[in-house]
Chain A
């Protein structure tokens, strides 16, 4: 990451991601239409600290791992009794970045839940599996050639600590799943749908890879 992008991320008044964090804070307090409960009615201020750093986590109801955005939607359906937000919608991204922002500076701490092992295994497998017309796996760029260049851009080590990130190319905030789908279309593969178990499994593997690294949501990326 270039020094100028780092400076942009470090300064909260320059970091455009803070616009979504502020939005999320307002949504957190607001009563959704046809609901008697806002997020803040159940969750005390600051109680979301450290939550984002341990997601994706195993869900007892669905019996599979879910990402943070899906957890927010579950809460909406179960406790607020309102429609789930569309994945990757601005409102969901705002809530997600507001929650994840509270974990800023905390180490990534994937849960030691043995029910996640199978999914983690599949995530790791998919990370090293070639895909698409270009026939490349995640590992070939982000492990074997990290630090090198792809065209004019530097290949990062694929750590997910800043998500949701403000990406200058997108001129918008986007989730980790959007970034994963972006990489998949880059290797000319059919991207998995938002919320697909395959993407959550990849997130699980990335969380293990980044274990101990500090969260920096909202990140700024080129």
Chain B
């Protein structure tokens, strides 16, 4: 399990724009770098990130070799109703991690 740092408000007013910030610990090995013995290290990156708000896709991103290690993403969404936000990172070697955060929306 990779480590994550997620920052999102726990409560929001209906119709408010909220910011979600997420960092995940990942080497993002490019696949172009040699190791100490000159052998190319196999690529190991996160390829896709998505955020679902009560099942509905509100944000997604594709990542490539040029993205730095421990990628940080910040994005906004509109608070419509109470529920959960599901953050998923998927990548090489079957890497997959899901974190959920709950949001309560007040009128």
Task: Using CB atoms and an 8 Å cutoff, list the residues of chain A in contact with chain B.
Answer: 12-16, 18-19, 22-23, 168, 171-172
Contact = CB atoms under 8 A, between A and B. Distances in A.
Contacts of B68: 168, 171
Interface of B: 3-7, 21, 23, 25, 28, 68-70, 72
Contact of B3 (A12, A13, A23): A23
Given A13-B21, A13-B23, A18 B69 contact: no
B69 A172 contact: yes
Contacts of B4: 19
A22 B7 CA distance: 15
A13 B6 contact: yes
Given A13-B21, A13-B23, A18 B70 contact: no
Contacts, number: 34
A212 to B, nearest CB: 31
A3 B23 CA distance: 20
A23 B1 CA distance: 11
A56 to B, nearest CB: 28
Contacts of A168: 68
Contacts of A171: 28, 68-70
B70 A16 contact: yes
A168 B68 CA distance: 9
B5 A13 contact: yes
A219 to B, nearest CB: 15
Of B3, B6, B68, most A-chain CB atoms within 10 Å? B3
B84 to A, nearest CB: 19
A171 B68 CA distance: 7
Contacts of A18: 5
Nearest to B68: A171
Nearest to B24: A19
A14 B23 contact: yes
B69 A19 contact: no
Given A14-B5, A18-B5, A171-B70, 16 more contacts: A12-B5, A13-B5, A13-B6, A13-B23, A14-B7, A14-B23, A14-B72, A16-B23, A16-B70, A16-B72, A19-B4, A19-B70, A22-B3, A168-B68, A171-B28, A172-B69
